[in-house]
A and B are shown apart, each in its own frame.
Chain A
Amino acid sequence: MGIKHVLLVFLIMLISTSLLAQVDFESDTPAPGNLRFTWIHGSVSAMANTDVRIQVHRYNEHTYMLRQNPATHWEAPFMYLLMGNQRAVLLDTGATEEAEYFPLRQVVDGVLQRWAYAQGVDMPELVVMPLGSDQSQNAGIGQFSDRPNTILVTPDADSRGSVLENELLDLGGRVLQVLPTPGLDSAAVSLYDAWAELLFTGNAFYPGRLVIRDFPAYRTSLQALVDLTASQSVSNIFGGRIEMTEHPGLDYRLRANYRPDERVLQLQTQHLESALLAVTLINGATDIRIMDDFILMHGVGRGARDWGYPVFIPEAFQNVNTR
């Protein structure tokens, strides 16, 4: 073997090392993902809870899912951390401000550091982006205010406009499509990740009580999501929280901080289709539609439908015996 060969091998090694650092997000086949596990779901006595404050799950190499412990806040929201070649984005920031109770920044930093080390790259820039204006999506954003190399995107058009180009969020190779999905929350957006074939709907669509505040807007939003799933493949829809039990149509009481037998988080495209159908049937009337995997409510408050009673609308007050 001559010196020429040695140099060639060295050159190939050099090229492949530099290639390692650049992930190709342009694949035709869906990125794999793993959901074979159970989310932490609180305990009989929250005071005696010994779970982690934030559960971290690696869905795939560049996609992490986080859940806040219900024993720190009953909303127990989900957060998502997606990495690309240039940037990472944190979708939603949890329901608790204090790092002492809910160390979101510390956990995100830990995940990013390990990821960067494993990929052989520097710490990426971080975009922190709540998908809506709900308290359970924005409370933890303050923890990132003095973090270096970080862009905070508050849930309004101006702030979002500063990081989006043509409604696209480019993480470097991994491009996320952003759709406004108002109806429950006027500031809500959803994100489609073509690489992992994931749709992140935040609090606009999740297995729980969907309280419609602006009916025409929500119908339009669901139609837009259904249209998107017609042209793009979606393997899972990830929302911002879980309020349903594994029993069809049965939800947990508001503020329940112990939820054994929770329904799984992920929804599929057929759920979007049935939601659109139910919304079409509601047609702007005051109504509660109980579906197996979510509950649509229009014209009533969030507490009008609660655990243990199939339907509740104020008219039902007239029933003489409630038990």
Chain B
Amino acid sequence: MKSINKRREALQTTAGIMLVASSLLVFDVAFSAFEDASLSFPLEGRAVGEFPDQWIHGSKSAMDNTDPAVQIHAYNDHTYILRENKAINYEGAFMYLFFGNGVAMLIDQGSTSSPALFPLREAVDEIILEWETRHNQSNIELIVANSHLHGDHYAAWNQFVDRPNTVMVGLTHEEMMAFWKIDNYPQQIVTYDLGGRELVVTGTPGHQGSELAIYDGWTDLLYTGDMFYRGRLYLDDWDAWVSSIRKLRSIADQNPVAHLVNNHIEMTREPGVDYPIGTTWQPNEPPMQMTLNMLDQAVEATYEIENPGIYHYDDFLIYNQVPWAYTTDP
């Protein structure tokens, strides 16, 4: 009697363990299958997105500004654009957060280091947590990368150095190239797999000698950083910029481009007129995103300009080898 009971007990236990194990297995398989199915980033077609009608743009009295320190804008489900408040730093720099399966990439970290004044990590953590919940993923990796090596775009890099599960690309040319696997800068065009999302990356010096442009085939966004935006294009190396702009044009010839996105807005809505450097209130800004027509105009400029100086175009100004702090104030 005793032995029968014992045997039955053992049988029950075994069955129980098997039941739990198999259900776990089924759940796991189902979960991973669900995970795979949920996020694909096909190059065909276009994942559309939206820009805000107006970005936060500072205020007349900076100390009376009530906007958030970091504006978070979801361009689409897996693409976020962030802007630093101009009342914190006049640069009003844009930052980008791209998501792939199990991974997110933050490009640029704004112009202010202090987490108390500019809580970028808090904002990024909040976006990632919300994204993980929405897409049933957890503990995804964060890659902290940079478009180029200027202080108004990496100031809050320090906020991420002690973040778990984070890859810091680094703030030297060598570290950047090693990460992207570029061994022939700037000519080489590489593709990077961000968790199933294919990014085309290439060197675009001219403004700064380690700058990169990124083409995202899923959204058809072409990110041009500081070397092409609505503002004063400060060019240290004219010949390098000429090659970079023409290369962007050829990338745009070979790939569909929805918008050109970038790092700053410095132009007013009046063609050829900029908000002067240091402006902390831009009440009637034009949009940040640019069009291929504007890229064509830049390509044209590469054939027109021969000497250092300031050249006015409708949607950007070219500061060819002119110090950044030089202004046209009367």
A322 nearest CB across to chain B (Å): 5
Chain A hits for B89, CB < 8 A:
45
Among residues 70 to 126 in chain A, which have CB atoms less than 8 Å away from a CB atom of chain B?
71-74, 96, 98, 100-102
Instruction: State in angstroms the CA–CA spacing of A312 and B329 once bound together.
Output: 13
A74 and B280 contact, Cβ closer than 8 Å, known pairs A47-B87, A309-B325: yes
Contact A253 B85 (CB under 8 A): no
Among residues 161 to 196 in chain B, which have CB atoms less than 8 Å away from a CB atom of chain A?
none
Interface residues in B, total, Cβ within 8 A: 36
A45 and B328 contact, Cβ closer than 8 Å, known pairs A71-B62, A253-B278, A318-B308: no
Of B90, B117, B328, which contacts A44 at CB under 8 A?
B117
Instruction: State in angstroms the CA–CA spacing of A100 and B277 once bound together.
Output: 26
Chain A hits for B114, CB < 8 A:
44-45
Contact A46 B60 (CB under 8 A): no
Of the 9-residue stretches B4-12, B44-52, B63-71, B293-301, which lies at the interface with chain A? B63-71
Does A9 touch B at the CB level, under 8 Å?
Answer: no
Does B236 touch A at the CB level, under 8 Å?
Answer: yes
A20 nearest CB across to chain B (Å): 41
Contact B322 A317 (CB under 8 A): yes
Contact A301 B63 (CB under 8 A): no
Does A30 touch B at the CB level, under 8 Å?
Answer: no
Instruction: State in angstroms the CA–CA spacing of A48 and B63 once bound together.
Output: 7
B108 nearest CB across to chain A (Å): 18
A74 and B278 contact, Cβ closer than 8 Å, known pairs A317-B309, A317-B321: yes
Contact A322 B62 (CB under 8 A): no
A133 nearest CB across to chain B (Å): 14
Among residues 66 to 102 in chain B, which have CB atoms less than 8 Å away from a CB atom of chain A?
69, 85, 87-90
A44 and B112 contact, Cβ closer than 8 Å, known pairs A255-B276, A302-B330, A318-B308: yes
Does A69 touch B at the CB level, under 8 Å?
Answer: yes
Chain A hits for B117, CB < 8 A:
44-45, 47-48
CB nearest to A255 among chain B residues? B278
Instruction: State in angstroms the CA–CA spacing of A304 and B329 once bound together.
Output: 8
Contact A73 B327 (CB under 8 A): no
A301 and B88 contact, Cβ closer than 8 Å, known pairs A253-B278, A318-B308, A322-B236: no
Q: Mark A299-323, 1 if CB is under 8 A from B, else 0.
A: 0011110111100101001111111
Chain B hits for A317, CB < 8 A:
307-309, 320-322
Contact B278 A256 (CB under 8 A): yes
A303 and B327 contact, Cβ closer than 8 Å, known pairs A44-B112, A320-B321: yes
Does A49 touch B at the CB level, under 8 Å?
Answer: yes
Does B61 touch A at the CB level, under 8 Å?
Answer: yes
Of B236, B280, B322, B326, which contacts A46 at CB under 8 A?
B280
Residues of B within 8 A of A (CB): 60-65, 69, 85, 87-90, 112, 114, 116-118, 236, 276-280, 307-309, 320-323, 325-330
Ordered by A's residue number, 21 sampled pairs between the chains whose C-beta atoms are within 8 Å are A45-B87, A45-B114, A47-B117, A49-B63, A72-B63, A72-B64, A73-B61, A96-B61, A101-B60, A254-B277, A254-B329, A255-B276, A255-B277, A255-B279, A255-B280, A257-B90, A303-B277, A304-B326, A309-B326, A314-B309, A322-B323
The 3 tightest CB contacts between A and B, nearest first, are: A303-B327, A255-B278, A46-B62
